[in-house]
C-alpha cells in the first residue's frame, strides 16, 4: 500500500516536523511505501494564475492544467491513502496548503458538475494537525467542528475520499515535554497502524 503525504511547515526544527518524522518512521516500520509533497521545500506555487482562475470559473476542460499540478495529480493517482500534516494557523491550515487545494483540485480531476466522476480514486484521507490549544479547548470554542467541516467534509469527502479521520495533536503551546512526547507517540502509531483497518 502507498501513502501520499502533503506536508506544510516551513521549519525543519518545528514540532510539526517531528510529527512528520514520527509518522514516517511508523509507515516505514509497517512495511508500506510513501511519497511526500513538502510544499515549502518544493516552493510550491500557491497563488492561482489568471489562466487557472479562468479554467476553474469557466469549467472549460480544454484549457491547460499546469505541469506542477499534473505532477500532484500523478502522486494522488499512485496513492491508496492521502495524509495531510500541518500546524493549525489562525484556525485553518497554512496558506501554503490552502493554495495546494486551490490549484490541485482542478475541474475534471477533483470535481465535476455532475456529468462525470471525479478522477480521485483514493478512498481514505487522514488529517494530522498540530495545535497550540488543547483539543478540549478547540472543541469548546467550535473550531474543531470547523476543521472537520472544512478539511474532512469539504476538502476530502466532497471529492470522493469518503473514509476520513481528523487527529488534532493539541496543547503544544504550554511547551510541556510530556505533551510533546505523547503527541509524537500518537503520530508514530498513526503511521504504523495506518493500513490495519483496511
Ligand X SMILES: Cc1cc2nc3c(=O)[nH]c(=O)nc-3n(C[C@H](O)[C@H](O)[C@H](O)COP(=O)(O)O)c2cc1C
Binding site for ligand X (CB under 6 A): 9, 14-16, 87-91, 130-133, 172
Rounded-to-5 percentages of helix, strand, coil across the chain: 45, 20, 35
Query: Smaller CB distance to ligand X: residue 18 or 48?
Result: 18
Contact 159, 118 (CB under 8 A): yes
Query: Smaller CB distance to ligand X: residue 91 or 118?
Result: 91
- Shortest distance in whole angstroms from residue 72 CB to ligand X: 23
Query: Smaller CB distance to ligand X: residue 106 or 130?
Result: 130
- Shortest distance in whole angstroms from residue 130 CB to ligand X: 3
DSSP letter string over 120-150? Answer: ----EEEEEEE-SS-HHHHHHTTHHHHHIII
- Shortest distance in whole angstroms from residue 197 CB to ligand X: 26
Query: Smaller CB distance to ligand X: residue 79 or 88?
Result: 88
The 10 Å Cβ neighbour count of residue 105 is 19
- Shortest distance in whole angstroms from residue 86 CB to ligand X: 8
Amino acid at each position: 500500500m502507498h501513502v501520499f503525504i502533503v506536508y506544510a511547515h516551513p521549519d525543519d526544527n518545528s514540532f510539526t516536523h517531528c510529527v512528520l518524522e514520527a509518522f514516517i518512521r511508523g509507515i516505514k516500520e509497517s512495511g508500506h511505501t510513501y511519497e511526500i509533497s513538502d510544499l515549502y521545500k518544493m516552493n510550491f506555487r500557491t497563488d492561482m494564475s489568471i489562466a487557472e482562475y479562468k479554467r476553474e470559473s469557466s469549467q472549460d476542460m480544454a484549457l491547460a492544467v499546469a505541469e506542477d499540478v499534473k505532477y500532484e495529480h500523478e502522486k494522488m493517482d499512485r496513492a491508496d491513502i492521502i495524509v495531510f500534516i500541518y500546524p493549525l494557523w489562525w484556525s485553518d491550515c497554512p496558506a501554503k496548503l490552502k493554495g495546494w487545494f486551490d490549484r490541485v483540485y482542478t475541474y475534471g480531476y477533483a470535481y465535476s458538475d455532475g456529468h462525470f466522476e471525479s478522477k480521485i480514486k483514493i478512498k481514505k484521507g487522514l488529517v494530522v494537525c498540530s495545535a497550540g490549544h488543547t483539543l478540549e479547548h478547540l472543541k469548546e470554542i467550535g473550531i474543531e467542528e470547523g476543521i472537520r467541516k472544512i478539511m474532512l467534509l469539504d476538502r476530502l469527502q466532497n471529492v470522493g475520499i469518503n473514509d476520513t479521520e481528523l487527529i488534532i495533536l493539541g496543547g503544544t503551546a504550554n511547551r510541556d515535554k510530556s505533551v510533546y512526547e505523547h503527541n509524537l507517540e500518537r503520530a508514530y502509531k498513526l503511521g504504523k497502524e495506518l493500513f490495519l483497518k483496511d
